[in-house]
Chain A
Amino acid sequence: MSQAQATGAPPEPSYRSIQETPEFGTLRKTLRRFVFPMTVAFLLWYLLYVVLSAYARGFMGTTVVGNVNVALVFGLLQFVTTFLIAWLYARFADRKLDPLADKLRHEIEGGN
């Protein structure tokens, strides 16, 4: 733990103390609670599509309407979910993350 001080870095002990504040803890937790599960979810959904393309040819080739088959619909659904998740994340970040981050940044930069 004392290694950092030994390198003679400019004194910025504030980052360590900020990292330990409950406010920063809340920001980190809020971010991770959204992005980690969401990442797992869209990766699984995408991998399902890839695995079905590899191993469930019959199912993917089933026609839905005219010449439109399951594979095409499944592919287009990936577009829909991508747009949806991007929109959800932006709304979440604007409402939940930015206020917390802005408050902390003002405290840090005001303190300097």
Chain B
Amino acid sequence: MLLAAVDTGTQRGITISLFLVFVLITLGITIWASRQNRNATDFYAGGRSFSGFQNGMAIGGDYMSAASFLGIAGIIALNGYDGFLYSIGFLVAWLVALLLVAELLRNSGKYTMADVLAFRMRQPPVRTAASLSTVTVSIFYLLAQMVGAGALVALLLGIKPGTTFLGMDANTAKIATIVLIGALMIIYVTVGGMKGTTYVQIVKAFMLIIGAALMTVLVLWHYRFNLSALLGDASAKSGKTGFLEPGLVYGKEVAGNALQTFYNKMDLLSLGLALVLGTAGLPHILIRFYTVPTARTARRSVLWAIGIIGMFYLFTLALGFGAAALVGSKDIAAQNAGGNTAAPQLADALGREFFGGDLGGVAFLAVIAAVAFATILAVVAGLTLASSSSVAHDLYANVIRRGVATEKQEVSVARVSALAIGAVSIVLGVLAKDLNVAFLVGLAFAVAASGNLPAILYSLFWKRFNTTGAVAAIYGGLISAVVLVFFSPVVSGSATAMFKTHDWHWFPLQNPGIISIPVGFLCGWIGTLLSKESNPDKYAELEVRSLTGAGAH
């Protein structure tokens, strides 16, 4: 109603123009950078020429996804404090990566996560398992980005429940947006390669941090820098009791149902565990450590990343509670059931207040939406690249062709698998379109913590660890996580499930981490003990190289 002064046609014109300008700029950077790609090291690892600061910004760009910007703000805006749990888990998780994984991995690997896992093992089985796990984690993560992109573009085009768009009802229009935007992003990524995506990550990290900082300052300005007043207003507008305390979404206490209460508490612990252990198992983050020349630069880049990511997650508090106070949860939920559009809707409100009425609202919304879109595009790029290079390098070059593939063949397999992985994520994204993006990424973290982290830690620190153990750890964690998600209320038997009209769920928790992470560690341990294989010479090489950096590529 308030927007009526500037007609909706003009509004869409401005947002779409800004959008196109942005897409052209990023495409330009990528195409320019792709010309600098000379060989496989350039394509996969960005030529290993990045500085600690550059790579730290790029890690931030890879990590702060639609989940961080749209998802967390959405959960806080709709349900208060519980969204902050994600911010904390996502940040603390970086300590696992910094202390235990980043430098050792940098010293002993080359292109993919599997380089380290397969270092002292029989190559084919371990590389196959690692590749499958990389692809699975990436698809979970990608589908969340597709959901975020769809929600965002639907908001910009004015698609919301109860309206029609180009003759389609809102639901069909939303599906069409996810498919189109998803396809656009995947095609864009297959052109660029790693060097292109690193620059996109860096540019995006700056845009996101500046955009979020500006919104934070405006929200606080509105409340004259009185945090308590902001919290009070958010709580009052939400109309919910306990809005500022944990418990509206996670660990809910159901009166008279002790079992459900117990399950809810377990779900919270499960999420907490998945978040903190997931980061160090995310393939697209792990390969970032290969883009720097030494372990010391890897350390520097993680420190920069922790700084920028930590700062951003502090802003999520102002974004989420600001959206609750200035937009209101009713309007947010009406636009997107998962709350995924809270941050851009807040931008609209702030723009109207601070930048001259309706037109200011429209323009600021467009800018923040462009930032969010850049965020998603950059993360899609990182994920697609990590998963497709794993298929090309681990599965195709090392297992199928037994190391005789040319670099050119490898790169073209990577491009084809990028398209295939993208297509699968788009389909799953359409099914998951009513779920919150941060929640979906929480699932990706659970899969990564179950399938990848146990094998990585055993590999780096346990002398006795062997091929059977590695394969058991990866498949044990991966399969248990995916199976439990499939039979959880996320996929069937609930109002927001991927299949709403069916119900085959028997697993009571939404996040599988509390079961599947221990299963991954246990399988790795039992598998190792069941096999007599042991290779002390290769372990010596791995340990000496990972700790000293000798012979690092």
Please classify how large the interface on chain B is, using the bins under 10, 10 to 19, 20 to 34, 35 or more.
35 or more
Q: Are A78 and B92 in contact (CB under 8 A)?
A: yes
Residues 14-54 of B at the A interface (beta carbon under 8 Å): none
Among A16, A43, A57, A75, point to the contact of B537 (Cβ < 8 A).
A16
Residues of B within 8 A of A67 (CB): 228-229, 231-232, 235, 244
Residues of A within 8 A of B464 (CB): none
Let me know if A96 is at the binding interface, CB within 8 A.
Answer: no
Query: CA separation between A105 and B250, bound complex, in Å?
Result: 49
CB contacts between A and B, total, < 8 Å: 167
- Footprint of B on A, CB under 8 Å? 1, 3-5, 9, 12-13, 15-16, 18-19, 24, 27-28, 31, 35, 38-39, 42-43, 46-47, 49-51, 53-55, 57, 60-61, 65-69, 71-72, 75, 78-79, 82-83, 85-87, 89-90, 93-94, 98, 101, 104-105, 108-109
9 further A-B contacts with Cβ under 8 Å, apart from A46-B272, A82-B310, are A39-B100, A46-B92, A50-B273, A60-B246, A66-B229, A67-B244, A72-B244, A86-B302, A90-B303
Residues of B within 8 A of A75 (CB): 84-85, 87-88
Given known contacts A3-B535, A85-B95, is B547 in contact with A57 (CB within 8 Å)? Answer: no
Among B228, B246, B534, point to the contact of A53 (Cβ < 8 A).
B246
Minimum CB–CB distance from A34 to chain B (whole Å) comes to 8
Q: Are B232 and A4 in contact (CB under 8 A)?
A: no
Q: Are A43 and B276 in contact (CB under 8 A)?
A: yes
Let me know if B121 is at the binding interface, CB within 8 A.
Answer: no
Residues of B within 8 A of A85 (CB): 95, 99
Stretch at the interface among B195-203, B492-500, B538-546: B538-546
Q: Are B245 and A98 in contact (CB under 8 A)?
A: no
Q: Are A79 and B544 in contact (CB under 8 A)?
A: no
Given known contacts A54-B251, A57-B245, is B99 in contact with A35 (CB within 8 Å)? Answer: yes
Q: Are B265 and A78 in contact (CB under 8 A)?
A: no
Given known contacts A71-B244, A86-B94, A86-B306, is B548 in contact with A51 (CB within 8 Å)? Answer: no
Q: Are A104 and B306 in contact (CB under 8 A)?
A: no
Residues of B within 8 A of A39 (CB): 95-96, 99-100
Q: Are A4 and B537 in contact (CB under 8 A)?
A: yes
Nearest neighbor of A30 in chain B, beta-carbon distance: B547
Q: Are B246 and A57 in contact (CB under 8 A)?
A: yes
Residues 269-295 of B at the A interface (beta carbon under 8 Å): 269, 272-273, 276, 295
Residues 214-249 of B at the A interface (beta carbon under 8 Å): 227-229, 231-232, 235, 242, 244-247
Q: Are A105 and B548 in contact (CB under 8 A)?
A: yes
Residues of B within 8 A of A89 (CB): 98-99
Among A3, A35, A68, A86, point to the contact of B303 (Cβ < 8 A).
A86
Residues 134-172 of B at the A interface (beta carbon under 8 Å): none
Minimum CB–CB distance from A30 to chain B (whole Å) comes to 10
* Interface of A: prevailing SS: helix
Given known contacts A27-B547, A61-B245, is B95 in contact with A47 (CB within 8 Å)? Answer: no
- Contact mask for chain B residues 312-349; partner A; CB cutoff 8 A; 1 contact, 0 none: 01100000000000000000000000000000000000
Given known contacts A35-B100, A49-B88, A71-B246, is B95 in contact with A108 (CB within 8 Å)? Answer: no
Let me know if B550 is at the binding interface, CB within 8 A.
Answer: yes
Given known contacts A54-B269, A60-B245, A89-B99, is B91 in contact with A24 (CB within 8 Å)? Answer: no
Among B89, B92, B296, point to the contact of A98 (Cβ < 8 A).
B296
Residues of A within 8 A of B91 (CB): 78-79, 82
Q: Are B95 and A42 in contact (CB under 8 A)?
A: yes
Residues of A within 8 A of B232 (CB): 66-67
Query: CA separation between A53 and B231, bound complex, in Å?
Result: 18
Query: CA separation between A12 and B302, bound complex, in Å?
Result: 32
Query: CA separation between A4 and B474, bound complex, in Å?
Result: 24
Minimum CB–CB distance from B278 to chain A (whole Å) comes to 13
- Contact mask for chain B residues 520-547; partner A; CB cutoff 8 A; 1 contact, 0 none: 0000000000000111111011011101
Nearest neighbor of A1 in chain B, beta-carbon distance: B536
Q: Are B268 and A12 in contact (CB under 8 A)?
A: no
Among A15, A46, A82, point to the contact of B540 (Cβ < 8 A).
A15
Nearest neighbor of B296 in chain A, beta-carbon distance: A98
Q: Are B544 and A78 in contact (CB under 8 A)?
A: no
Minimum CB–CB distance from A63 to chain B (whole Å) comes to 9
Residues of A within 8 A of B88 (CB): 46, 49, 75, 78-79
Across the A-B interface, the 10 shortest Cβ-Cβ residue pairs: A66-B228, A50-B272, A4-B537, A67-B231, A53-B246, A61-B245, A19-B540, A108-B550, A15-B541, A54-B251
Let me know if B60 is at the binding interface, CB within 8 A.
Answer: no
Minimum CB–CB distance from B483 to chain A (whole Å) comes to 25
Minimum CB–CB distance from B172 to chain A (whole Å) comes to 40
Residues of B within 8 A of A61 (CB): 242, 244-245
User: Can you name 10 A-B residue pairings with CB atoms under 8 Å?
Assistant: A15-B545, A39-B100, A66-B227, A78-B92, A82-B94, A83-B306, A101-B549, A104-B550, A108-B544, A109-B551
Minimum CB–CB distance from B258 to chain A (whole Å) comes to 14
Let me know if B81 is at the binding interface, CB within 8 A.
Answer: yes
Let me know if B393 is at the binding interface, CB within 8 A.
Answer: no
Given known contacts A53-B268, A69-B244, A78-B91, is B310 in contact with A105 (CB within 8 Å)? Answer: no
Let me know if B299 is at the binding interface, CB within 8 A.
Answer: yes
Residues of B within 8 A of A101 (CB): 295, 547-549
Residues of B within 8 A of A50 (CB): 85, 268-269, 272-273
Q: Are B540 and A47 in contact (CB under 8 A)?
A: no
Q: Are A42 and B92 in contact (CB under 8 A)?
A: yes
Query: CA separation between A55 and B261, bound complex, in Å?
Result: 11
Given known contacts A12-B541, A90-B299, is B269 in contact with A3 (CB within 8 Å)? Answer: no
- Contact mask for chain B residues 96-125; partner A; CB cutoff 8 A; 1 contact, 0 none: 101110010000000000000000000000
Q: Are A3 and B548 in contact (CB under 8 A)?
A: no
Q: Are A15 and B228 in contact (CB under 8 A)?
A: no
Q: Are A82 and B99 in contact (CB under 8 A)?
A: no
Query: CA separation between A54 and B250, bound complex, in Å?
Result: 8
Residues of A within 8 A of B273 (CB): 47, 50
Minimum CB–CB distance from B307 to chain A (whole Å) comes to 8
